[in-house]
Every structure is written in C-alpha cells, then in structure tokens.
Amino acid sequence: MGTKKVDLSSYNNDWYRPGASILKRTIWYFLNALFFLNPINPSSKIKVLLLQMFGAKVGKGVNIKPGVNIKYPWRLQIGNYVWIGEKAWIDNLGQVTIGDHVCISQEALLLSGNHNFKKSTFDLIVGEITLEEGCWIGAKAIVCPGVTCHAFSILSVGSVAVKNLEASGIYQGNPAEWKRERVFEE
C-alpha cells in the first residue's frame, strides 16, 4: 500500500464555473436567505417568481415550503405540480431537472457535487441529477451526483441513491437497494 495522505492545501477547483457572475451569486445568496430559508415567508408564488428571475425554468402549480435552500437557480428546471418540502436542499453545482408531479419531502438533499476521495487533493466532482415524472424522494433522503430517478420511482425515508433508480421501483437503505415495484391502486 502506498503512502496515504490528504493535502487540502493543494485543493484547486479553478476549472469549475458556477454559471453566473459574482454579483448575481451574491444577490441570489441574500434573496435565498430572505425568501427561501426564512420560515416566515410561506408564499410559493414569490419563490417561483424569484427563481424564474434568476434563470430557473419553473412549471405551474409548484409548491415550495419554507426553509428550502437552492444553490443556483440558473441550474434548475422544475416541472408542473412539484412539491418541495420544508428544509429540502437543492445543492445544484450541476444541472438539476425535476419532472412533473415530483414530491421532494422534508430535509431531502439533491447533492450534485462531491469530492474524489481517491485523490489526495480531494478534487471536486460534479454530476447532473434528474428526477423523472411522478417520483418521490422521501424525507431526509439523499440523491447523489449523476443519479437519475426514473419515472414513478421512490427513494424511501433516509435512503441514499448512489446509482440510478429504475422506473416504478421502491428503493431503501444506504446505499439504496430495490425493494419492490410501486403499484398504483385504481
């Protein structure tokens, strides 16, 4: 086995581009704190308008609860009739696409960035996240970079998706594993 070390002094992510000027990011930081993170503002309409003003594509009937944290709205696309629960965090260093009729429950985390633990410099890794139509991300669940949750899949409470979820699959655990098929009652 080779020498093991982590050298954060040589960390460099100069290659990463957040997609907006420092001024735009600073203004967004304060608006996010004032209107999204702040539990006193329950209005989804104001939040949707602000997201659109900062470049997000947002459909109709979107419900954004208090305490939601969104890193970069210009890297966010939200479909129609989406619910985003209290204290959910969309940490979208990369593109995050949320389809129609998706539910993101309380304190769920969409994590599009991570670090390469195999490199002593702890290099940044960025991957897109896609939540297709009708999927449900349970409370305190985590979707990792590069993951697609296919249509109508469920990531159960507290579970961690490190790979794609099959359509209509119910997944549970860390890492999340397929448990059974999602069946709708008539």
Give the domains, in start order, of the chain with CATH numbers. Answer: 19-180 (2.160.10.10)
Q: How far is CA 174 from CA 136, 160, 178, in A?
A: 17, 5, 11
Q: Are 29 and 50 in contact (CB under 8 A)?
A: no
Q: What percent of the chain has pLDDT over 90?
A: 84
Question: Would you state the structure tokens that stand for residue 144, as one six-digit string?
Answer: 């990792």
Q: Which residues on adjacent β-strands are paired with residue 124?
A: 115
Give the pLDDT score at 1: 59
Instruction: Give the tens place of pLDDT for each residue, 138-162.
Output: 999 999 999 999 999 999 999 999 9
Mean pLDDT of 88-110: 98
Over its C-alpha atoms, the chain yields an Rg (Å, rounded) of: 17
Q: What percent of the chain has pLDDT over 70?
A: 98
| pLDDT for 4 beyond 80 | no
Q: What is d(CA 11, CA 120) in angstroms, rounded to the nearest whole number?
A: 9
Identify the band that residue 2 occupies on the pLDDT scale cut at 50, 70 and 90.
low
| CB environment 116-126: b (16+ within 10 A), e (fewer) | eeeeeebeebb
Instruction: Give the tens place of pLDDT for each residue, 42-52.
Output: 889 999 999 99
- Candidates 153, 150, 106; CA nearest to 129 is 150
Give the pLDDT score at 153: 98
Give the pLDDT score at 120: 86
Q: What is d(CA 21, CA 6) in angstroms, rounded to the nearest whole number?
A: 31
